[in-house]
Amino acid sequence: MKEIVLIAKRRDVVGKQVKALRREGLLPAVLYSRHLAPIIITLDMRDASRVLPTITSSHLVVVDVEGEKLTTLVREKQRHPVTGSLLHVDFQVLSMTEKLRTTVVIVLEGEAPAAKNFNGVLVTGQTELEVECLPSDLPERIRVNVSGLNEIGNSIHVRDLILPPKVEVLTDPDELVVLVTAQAAEEKEEVVAVEGAIEPEVIEKGKIEEEEEF
């Protein structure tokens, strides 16, 4: 897993005043842990906006706070509802000697022969797994090869996945990951023309709504 490092600085600005930080190209964030008081920080907006969208929920991120390097997971990313730009990020500081619970993304790889040979359709179930392990054993993603799905009806469940030996899966082993099904037959509707049918009268409605004043 490639190490990601974000440079941060402590901040005193809180509340509505953080808008000024964003105008300066800074991203407000917070570091929290069971063992530490919350640390409020700022990140470089450009660097954070380039890096954070590319990582998964189980990708370790090192936050360098004025020389103090803390290993973290991104727990929440707040975005502007219109522009989608980052507004705030929550990081959980990890202890490398304590197990943690988190989710790991499932990534399907390969081509299912049943999809190619029998025109089957891949139906996905679980898209992530809940796991427990030490931070150093945490996989960035779980890769699932579907090249063994040879027939319609073949499937892969959580119990079929192979994970590193030190990673405990907490998701129900009977949960479906992927299934190959047959394509549904297309239903064709006949359109019957009725002679002498009366076309509905179209009445043009005028604009009755008034524009709200902002």
Confidence label for 15 from pLDDT (cuts 50, 70 and 90): confident
Which structure tokens are listed for 177? 């990951």
**What's residue 183's pLDDT?**
85
Nearest-CA neighbor of 4 among 70, 90, 78?
A: 70
Return the pLDDT at 14: 81
Pick the last residue of a domain from 62, 93, 124: 93
- In this structure, the answer to whether residues 89 and 104 fall within a common structural domain is no
Residue 13 lies in a domain: yes
44 vs 34: CA distance, rounded Å = 26
CA distances for 138 relative to 33, 117, 168, 204, angstroms: 18, 37, 10, 62
Number of domains in the chain: 2
Q: For residue 182, is pLDDT > 50?
A: yes
Residue 174 lies in a domain: yes
Q: Exposed, middle or buried, 50 (CB in 10 Å: 0-12/13-18/19+)?
A: exposed
Task: Say which range, 109-113, 171-175, 197-201, has the weakest mean pLDDT.
Answer: 197-201
Q: What is the pLDDT of residue 13?
A: 77
pLDDT higher than 60, residue 101: yes
Q: Indicate if 58 and 138 belong to the same structural domain.
A: no
**CATH code assigned at 106:** 2.170.120.20
pTM, rounded to two decimals: 0.76
Place of tokens 């390969």: 110
Say how far apart CA 127 and CA 178 lie, in whole Å.
Answer: 9
120 part of a folded domain: yes
In a domain? residue 201: no
User: Domain containing 120: what range?
Assistant: 100-181
